[in-house]
Structure 1
Amino acid sequence: MKNPRPHRDVVSFVRRSTRMNESQMKAWDRHHDEFVVEVPHAELSTSVSDDAAVDWAAEFGREAPLIVEIGSGAGDSLVPMAAGRSDANVVAFEVFEPAVASTLGRLGRDGVTNVRVVVADGSQGLAKLFDDGVITELWTFFADPWHKKRHHKRRLVGTDFADVVAAKLAPGGLWRLATDWEDYALWMREHLDAHPGLVNVHDGWAPR
């Protein structure tokens, strides 16, 4: 009997086109080596190998509070927020190369140097590339809500992911979340309010 195909983890994204426009290609070529951290992959091109490891202090050239963003997109929030946290080392995960290229261009134009980008699944990266208790803040802004019920298993924010987050956050560390889908917001509250390792610092919804 043949061995069954290896199990694939459920991912929280669908891979879009990796085609870049001319501006993105220039930004990629110009800034890739400065900002992008290459990690070994497993079966999928967006996966992170089980034996992957990164010395973040060496990557940034300093010891500093560690902030992680999962799903940084084109850097619309990442770049200005990282600029406002020059005291911190900011690691961003994004799977879509054109979006990464746009982020690189923004970082270069704005002179923001305290960011490193990993082109990989952020949920795997969080679990495999960081020691427990080292992350000062985790940012998860406007993750795909997967609004159809049959797709809810793909939602990033849930009990299993919360277990990883609770382990990786430093004592007193913050997980900042935002969504513009009410159903997903309620889903987040349902799963995270019940988690023994996490406490809602706002005792309800965060103020706008």
Structure 2
Amino acid sequence: MTEDDARSSAPSRRTIRSFVIRGGRATAAQQRALDDLWPRYGVEFNGQPLDLDQLFGRRAPRMLEIGFGAGEALLAFAEKHPELDCIGVEVHKPGVGHLLLGAYTAGLQNLRVICHDAVEVLQQQLPPGSLQLIHIFFPDPWHKKRHHKRRLIQPEFVELLAQSLAVGGTLRLATDWEHYAMHMREVIDASPSFANEAPDTGFVARNEERPVTRFERRGHRLGHGVWDLSYRRIAATPSA
């Protein structure tokens, strides 16, 4: 392989990320969880496709939550659905530590955590069609216009979601920023891989499986609305 061939076959370098690493430090308990519980629940990113049956020790339907924050919604979902294997992706280590503590306390066997950029996880680590459900709750809205390019929900990212989600699977999203809600709807409605499950209004009622987190309660106190969206993964119609 020539040097030019190697360059052309390498994954393209991302120059715009949807997140920044915050400077907050983990508490002592969270750091202990990161040190002691990561071997039990953590999955290192190595750029290679995961064998999910081997990872969980069984074959089962799988769900993914991207950007789980402190992990409240993911922990509640994994506890309620022991029949599903749950994967959480988050870049902020204090939140990861918080989730690990909750998973250990609850004795969960069906949860694994990846502390890495979700784009690269979807590109390189999750096999095509391996998920039945994806949750993206309250991603950073990047509300200033000059920062809109940083928003997670963009056409290219939506197609990465479609790649990992099995046909018939579900994509659920929520945001408390109306402009971002409309952006989400516009971008995902335009994808041939997804069908909006509320085609008339574009938005659905809050799914009861999404708990009202501390973040959302704070938004309610500030008078923020919340917009939920749900999409079904469909087989894209071939171009004529």
What TM-score comes out, normalization by structure 2 length? 0.77
Q: Letter of the 2:139 partner, please give it.
A: A
Post-superposition offset of 1:18? 5.9
Computed over aligned residues only, the root mean square deviation of the Cα atoms, in angstroms, reads: 1.4
The one of 139, 142, 150 equivalent to 2:138 is: 142
Q: Which runs of 5+ in 1 are unaligned?
A: 1-5, 41-48
Query: Which residue in 2 is equivalent to 1:154?
Result: 150
Distance 2:38 2:164 in 1: 27
User: How many Å separate the matches in 1 of 2:127 and 2:109?
Assistant: 23
2:75 aligned to which of 79, 84, 87: 79
Q: Is the 8 A contact 2:135 2:173 kept in 1?
A: yes
Report the counterpart of residue 215 of structure 2 in structure 1. none
Deviation at 1:109, TM superposition (A): 1.1
Considering Cα pairs closer than 8 Å and 6+ residues apart, tell me whether 1 or 2 has the greater RCO: 1
Does structure 1 retain, via aligned residues, the 8 Å contact 2:45–2:125? Answer: no
Question: What residue number does 1:3 align with?
Answer: none
Alignment of structure 1 residues 56-95 onto 2, 5 Å: 56-95=52-91
- 1:49-96 Cα offsets, whole Å, 9 max, x none, are 4xx222111111111111111101111111001111211111110111
Shift of the 7–124 alpha-carbon distance from structure 1 to 2, 3 Å rule, reads closer
- Gapped regions of structure 2 (runs ≥ 5): 1-11, 207-240
Q: Deviations over 1:143-185 (max 9, x none)?
A: 0000111111111011111111122211101001000110100
Is residue 138–residue 175 contact of structure 2 (8 Å, CA) maintained in 1? yes
Q: Which of these residues, 18, 35, 39, is aligned with residue 41 of structure 2? A: 35
1:16 equivalent in structure 2: 22
Which of 202, 205, 214 pairs up with 1:207? 205
Size of the aligned set, in residue pairs, is 193
Distance in 1, Cα, partners of 2:57 & 2:180: 38
Tell me the TM-score normalised to structure 1 length. Answer: 0.88
Report the CA distance shift for 1:7/1:63 in structure 2 as closer, same or farther (over 3 A): closer
Asked if 2 retains the 8 angstrom alpha-carbon contact of 1:66 and 1:91, the reply is yes
Q: Does 1:173 align with 2:169?
A: yes
